[in-house]
Amino acid sequence: MTTVNYAQAVGERLRNVRFQKALSLHDVEITSRDEFKASVLGAYERGERSISVPRLQRLARFYGVPVDQLLPRDADEETGGDSHSPGGGPGRVRIDLVRLLESEGPESTVLQRYVNMVQMQRGDFNGRVLTIRFDDLRALASVLEQSPEVLLGRLEGLGVKAAIVH
């Protein structure tokens, strides 16, 4: 990958994280108290300008994400994200992350750790909703020594299950 292509790939990651945080370039400038000027951040995102490592670290801290999440991934590192098994299966479960952070209980701590791991793996930091495969729910239920159906009921009781997506 050439330097120009890499700068563009970094810029694309920067833009994606900013979009996930629902921030405009102007919002970042204002919220960062002019540390990140909209015009400069835009140039980083377009790949017209390379960002230094210390500045990338400060931007990662500002966005509240690990710095490596602002770097492009190799094609073989990409994960399937929300896709479910070719056999179909029961679907996916949408988790309300805001409510999860507010919830208490033994399942909450384990689920929060799992959700953090999935977000890191996917580079998904929107902070509002996360969709997990039903197979992942089954694995979590096993760890918590519950059936998937009982865990789904518990998630509903905690108010964190937003929906089942087919």
Is the pTM higher than 0.75? The answer reads no
How far is it, in rounded angstroms, from Cα 75 to Cα 37?
A: 31
Same fold, 3-73 and 92-165: no
Whether the predicted pLDDT of 138 surpasses 80: yes
Q: Which two tokens stand for residue 42?
A: 């835009």
Tens of pLDDT, residues 95-109: 888 888 888 877 788
Question: CA–CA separation, 15 vs 44, rounded Å?
Answer: 9
Q: Which residue, among 43, 34, 35, has the nearest Cα to 10 in the 3D structure?
A: 43
Residue 129: beta bridge partners?
A: 96
The enclosing H or E element of 154 equals helix 148-158
* pLDDT of 77: 41
Quote the tokens at residue 4.
């120009």
C-alpha distances in angstroms, 80 versus 75, 119, 130?
A: 11, 13, 14
Q: Is the pLDDT of residue 82 over 70?
A: no
Question: Which residue has tokens 């689920």?
Answer: 111
| Cα 110 to Cα 100, 113, 154, distances in angstroms | 11, 5, 13
User: Comparing 107 with 76, which gets the higher pLDDT?
Assistant: 107
Percent of the chain topping pLDDT 70: 83
Which range has the top average pLDDT, 23-27, 67-71, 116-120, 149-153? 23-27
Q: Which of 51, 41, 58 is nearest to 72 (CA)?
A: 51
| Max CA distance (Å), the chain | 52
Give pLDDT, residue 48: 92
For residue 133, pLDDT over 50 is answered with yes
- Superfamily of domain 3-73 in CATH is lambda repressor-like DNA-binding domains (1.10.260.40)
Mean pLDDT of the chain: 81
> How high is the pLDDT of residue 81?
39
User: What mean pLDDT comes out for the span 142-148?
Assistant: 82
The structural domains of the chain, with segments of one domain joined by +, span: 3-73, 92-165
Give the CA angle between residues 90, 91, 92 to the nearest 5°: 135
CATH tag, 92-165: 1.10.10.1930
